[in-house]
Chains A and B, each alone.
Chain A
Amino acid sequence: MFNISTQALFSQLLVGLINGSFYALLSLGLAVIFGMLNIINFAHGALYMMGAFCAYFLLSIAGLGYWWALVLSPLIMGAFGMFLERTMLHRLAGLDHLYGLLLTFGLALIFQGLFQNYFGSSGLPYAIPQELTGAQNLGFMFLPNYRAWVVVFSLAVCLATWFAIEKTKLGAYLRAATENPSLVRAFGVNVPRMITLTYGFGVGLAALAGVLAAPINQVRPLMGGDLIIVVFAVVVIGGMGSIMGSIVTGFALGLVEGLTKVFYPEASNTVVFVIMALVLLVKPAGLFGRTA
């Protein structure tokens, strides 16, 4: 079982890191939305999927390639997210978490069902952009350029988000608004608008992950549904609402999953949940969570 070469181990760790960057990016969006809005956004996976479809449509209808999609798809989906927040989620403010969860879960099922009805379950092809095709021979493995780009880019986005929320004045307003909205309002800050923008931003992050995933996976209606449960486990392990927690846990779980795929591949879809159960037993607030 342990007779694996260090070469193979390195390559598996690197592959794990790549998957981890998707977990990190998605769980970050969830953490931002939960931390700031107290909404458990079950539609996150569906919105990630729609981000990928958005990239596909931009290419097939408007002829706009990957780089445009990387900018436009998060903006379009972010606007769509704000629309959802204004028209629906907004009405649930102050109610039990369960209502938000049910609403977003229902929305996710509707979106997924609609896309599946019109595009089938096998998905649509989306090619890797010309500039990022090819691969580097690292000696111990063959690293596709595109995967390297995904790791670097998502790490940058994650850190920028963390910085904006934890270290800037805008982030301070945001955090204050979560703690005590009426007091922040008294200072003349438009809290409802801030919440709408935050939700839009979280959705934009999901769409961004969708665009990044489009060339790796097929653009499939179920791509988000398959992933979202794992991402929720990541958020729970990291601690609900903790920004840094979700980033670190995302990458770490990617690594753990990568190692499982070498030593006991049959369990690779389950290992994340085993860890989740263990963490909840030992530290119910999650690894980085603050106990309420």
Chain B
Amino acid sequence: MKLMVSALALTAALVSGAPALAQDKIVKLGILDDMSGLYADVGGAGSVIAAQMAIEDSGLVAKGWKIDIVSADHQNKPDVGVNVARQWIDQEKVDGLFGVLSSGVALAVTGVAKEKNVVYMNSGAAASDLTGSACTPNIVHWTYDTYLLANGTGKAVVKSGGDSWYFLTADYAFGQALERDTSAVVTANGGKVIGAVRHPLNSSDFSSFLLQAQASKAKIIGLANAGGDTTNAIKQANEFGITAGGQKLAALLLFLTDVHSLGLKMTAGLQFTETFYWDMNEGTRAFSAKFSERMRNKQKPTMVQAGVYASVNHYLKALDAMGGNVHDGVKIVDKMKAMPTEDALFGKGTIRADGRKIHPGYLFEVKKPEESKYPWDYYKLIATIPAEEAFTPIEKSACPLLKK
């Protein structure tokens, strides 16, 4: 019996001592993103470059750390994303997943990150469920979410008289979340939702859906989609005279690269919400100049790419503060939540207990062609949504972590 007890005590000592032994200065980041599809300009190769810049700026390599990046294309397919993540963690010893655009993949990957206990910092997916019903202790959701978009753009549009809505919704997790969150804001502010049509992801022709929206006679056609789907819908709405007929488009999620691709003539006057714009201040301009120099197509960073930079930056700060990499996702995320965040791109902020990164949102309007003075001069700031109002209030969060 005595022997048994001492053996148990010895095992307990060994187990509790194990994490301390595993601490080292080796880090491997995995950027899992849409590298070739309709969202590739929003994140893609630009997100990998942003992560590299964050590593360089951290100065940790000079201090003897070994930090590597691997990247892969999840093709916007949840099964592909999950397989890559699993393989990375099991075989390549990846410590953290970054980027992960596209909500379908993003939600699927949460399970893997939790099961394997790695850090999962999402910049790109929109579904607010990531820090809501689907939250885990391993997630930090950085850049924006559907609650912010709904609250920013939805509220502004209803307040300016757009009180009846018809949605054009991308038929997957993201579009549905965005439609749900925006509908809630529209009704809460006294507007009404007339209907919605769900289109498959990556559709090239929107004329049929647009005609249905037109027939609904709603004042506002809410585009609950993103990337190539949004640009095509805007272009074709123009062609079919929808905007000329008095209905207005509300692009609920619009990225800098979408505006660039459509041109100002087509997009002037559109209002939408983002959390980062390259031309905000000295800090964002300096980062963006360096960034676009390294991009093959010389594009300025989108908020998603900025978010990857900032999240990697904060992750490395946390590791540095812990004195090494403990290879324990929950512990590192807890450390990140305990530290205030600060970077040149999003300013000062915090990470909440449910994993939601808190910073202000901005309501922008696309400039008219004659207002644009230099390349990529596209946005003007309409309103700032203070950090405390930008995201789901913590008392309304559906995150199971908060119910203890």
Contact = CB atoms under 8 A, between A and B. Distances in A.
Interface in A209-228: 216-218, 220, 222-223, 226-227
A-side interface size class: 35 or more
Interface stretch (B142-150, B235-243, B307-315, B353-361): B235-243
Given A265-B199, A265-B209, A120 B297 contact: yes
A147 B198 CA distance: 24
A119 B228 contact: no
A8 B258 CA distance: 30
- Interface size classification for chain B: 35 or more
A142 B208 contact: no
A119 B260 CA distance: 12
Interface centre among B236, B257, B297 (most CB of A within 10 A): B297
Interface in A136-195: 141-142, 144, 146-147
A90 interface: no
Contacts of A11: 211
Interface string B266-278: 1000000000000
Contact of B263 (A125, A128, A265, A269): A125
Contact of A135 (B214, B236, B240): B240
Nearest to A116: B36
A266 interface: yes
Nearest to A213: B204
Contacts of B296: 117-118
Interface of A: 8, 11-12, 15-16, 18-19, 113, 116-125, 128, 135, 141-142, 144, 146-147, 216-218, 220, 222-223, 226-227, 258, 261-262, 265-266, 268-270
27 contacts: A8-B215, A15-B205, A15-B207, A15-B208, A16-B208, A119-B297, A120-B41, A121-B37, A121-B44, A122-B257, A123-B261, A124-B261, A125-B263, A128-B239, A144-B241, A216-B205, A218-B228, A218-B231, A218-B262, A222-B38, A226-B204, A227-B204, A261-B199, A265-B200, A266-B198, A266-B199, A269-B200
Interface of B: 36-41, 44, 171, 197-200, 202-205, 207-209, 211-212, 214-215, 227-228, 231-232, 235-236, 239-241, 245, 257-258, 260-263, 266, 296-297, 299
- Which A-B residue pairs are the 10 nearest by beta carbons? A122-B261, A261-B208, A121-B40, A269-B200, A125-B263, A120-B41, A122-B41, A15-B207, A120-B297, A121-B41
